[in-house]
Amino acid sequence: MSSIETATLPPASQQFHRLSFTGRASEYFGIWIVNILLTIITVGIYSAWAKVRRNRYFYGNTVLLGRAFEYHAKGKQIFIGRLIVFTYLVVYNILLAAFPLAGIALAVVVLFFFPWLIMRGLRFSARVTSYRNIRFDFVGKMGGAFVAFMFGPMLAAITLGILTPLASRWMYRYIGNNLRYGGRSFAADPRLGQIYQTWFFSALIIVLGILVIGAVALINLPLIVALVDNSSGLTPEMTSSLMIFAVAGYIAIILSFGIAALFYRAGVRNIAWSSTVFDGKHALKSDLSRFQYVWIAVSNVIVTVATLGLMRPWAAVRMARYVNEHTAIRFDGDVGEIFAAVEQEGTAVGAEFMDFEGFDFGF
């Protein structure tokens, strides 16, 4: 690290240094529209290179202490990974149609193989990411991926969501405790009680949504029963009313679950990131406002749909800027000395990752 670079870094401080996002919707729109057009023209083949261009833009505009992150993956790596997955799907469907038992057996094999794919995907994503020319790394094992991404979600589903906080804790611990930067480790230990607090609030949203839908259905029960009993003699107006009621109920259920999921995601992110430390002493922090996060996410969807997708770049940049501005790290010690030490150790580590083994399977 040069003396000029060191001089630009702040000294030891108890303050958190926040990330920022310097991208603009007008800039990203040009990248996005070219990606869309080339993906359509090439029947989806260009999507691998489109992902690289998109990530390089967002990583390159994510800034900490005046320096941006970098994304080093190549389109060929992502394309080969997707090609392997696509080939598997074709073979699987052929076997399932011609030899059902063989198709089922292949599905079971891949199910057990899935944790390895997730682990490799996390390692790939880490190794193609750098900050200040120092690469990240991921050292998680397949067993941990199975617990975090398969066993945990299965428990959550079986218990109708009651054990979702436990699954979230396993996932964030697996990712956080196996992430490395320049050879130095992160450690994450989100508290289960805190996760349950944010889960309880999200569960109340779902329960409230179901109660409102149930109350409306109960009030209109006589009308619904009459319409169903006289289905053969329904007028077009009555049929339209019944259809509108059914669609409105379906949309209300989707909204209640979707909004609850957004509240939960923001709350758990705050808990998980704020329980994470780097190198045993540098604390991370996330302080998203759950209401603001939900508002941005929902309004982004509304605007994107209303403009037939043309405002998608604006929505993506808007969310990235908000999330980055509410993500921070507090360094324990002189920041210049910390990065100088990490850079000295991380140079050799980073050199090992210049030629990547494996591909990005999209998991």
For position 7, what pLDDT does the model report? 41
67 burial type by CB count under 10 A (0-12 exposed, 13-18 middle, 19+ buried): middle
Strand order in the sheet with 179-181: 17-18, 327-330, 282-286, 276-278, 184-188, 179-181, 134-138, 129-131, 67-71, 62-64, 20-21
Confidence band of 144 (pLDDT split at 50, 70, 90): very high
CA distance linking residue 236 with residue 62, whole number of Å: 55
pLDDT tens readout for residues 60-105: 999 999 999 999 999 988 888 888 888 888 888 888 777 777 777 7
Q: Is 28 helix (H, G, I), strand (E, B) or coil?
A: helix
| Tens-digit pLDDT profile for residues 21-53 | 999 999 999 999 999 999 999 999 999 999 999
Q: Crossing angle of helices 312-325/25-41, nearest 10°?
A: 130
Q: Is the confidence at residue 194, as pLDDT, over 70?
A: yes
Q: pLDDT per residue over 323-351, tens digit each?
A: 999 999 999 888 888 888 877 765 444 43
Distance between CA 346 and CA 1 in Å, rounded? 12
Exposure class string for 149-183: b at 16+ Cβ within 10 A, else e? bbebbebbeeeebebbbbbbbbbbbbbbbbbbbbb
Global pTM value: 0.83
Please give the pLDDT value at position 14.
63
166 closest CA partner among 177, 155, 175, 150: 155
> Phi and psi of 191, rounded to 5°?
-80, 135
- Asked whether the beta carbons of 182 and 343 are under 8 A apart, the reply is yes
Tens of pLDDT, residue by residue over 299-332, are: 999 999 999 999 999 999 999 999 999 999 999 8
Determine the pLDDT at residue 346: 57
Return the closest-CA partner of residue 331 out of 62, 69, 15: 15
